[in-house]
Structure 1
């Protein structure tokens, strides 16, 4: 099942890159902005509940799709770009095993615990 999930997230990563390609931005923007969604971790400075809410919002695949669709519908190139980057970044995190966070601990995700599994 782990391999199947990774393949699914690889496909979503590629889709995010394709979505970004529909924007009119140069490809270097993709590289520069790829890790911007991780700024959402700043919520953990308040507490783990706020941190999880902020992180999960910025890393939710559905949010990425909605942002992309809104960008196309409203003809806002910035949202098209943001939707592609959000999807690619979130899928990349999932490939690495970083899932959506539970509010009790940053390392507790919907994909399991982050860290050594001994």
Structure 2
């Protein structure tokens, strides 16, 4: 089942790249900002509960869909950029095994424990 879920996430990453390619932004921006959503981990400096909350908010696919949809409906390209960017980042994270976090520890995700 994990392989099937990772394959699904891989295709969502591809969708994000496809949607991004239709925007008027250079690929350098995508590469430069790729790890920016991981700044949401800084909440863990306060405590695991806040860290999980901030990480999950930024890595939730619903946020990326809402941002992209609002951008498309309101003709705001930077919102579409943010939506495709967050979708791509979150999807690739999940391909690599980094899921949404439980409140007890960063390593405890909805995909299982992160080993290493």
Relative to the length of structure 2, the TM-score reads: 0.96
How many equivalent residue pairs?
Answer: 116
Output the aligned Cα RMSD.
Answer: 0.9
1:102 maps to 102
In the TM superposition, structure 1's runs of 4+ consecutive aligned residues that sit over 4 Å from their partners are none
2:89 maps to 89
Q: When you count strand as a share of all residues, which structure comes out higher?
A: 1
Which shows bigger deviation, 89-98 or 14-23?
Answer: 14-23
Aligned equivalents of 1:49 and 1:20: distance in 2? 33
Q: Which runs of 5+ in 2 are unaligned?
A: none
Q: Which runs of 5+ in 1 are unaligned?
A: none
Kept in 2: contact 1:99–1:110 (CA 8 A) = yes
Kept in 2: contact 1:59–1:86 (CA 8 A) = yes
2:27 maps to 27
Aligned equivalents of 1:66 and 1:8: distance in 2? 20
Deviation, structure 1 residue 2: 1.5
Work out whether 1:41 is the aligned partner of 2:41: yes
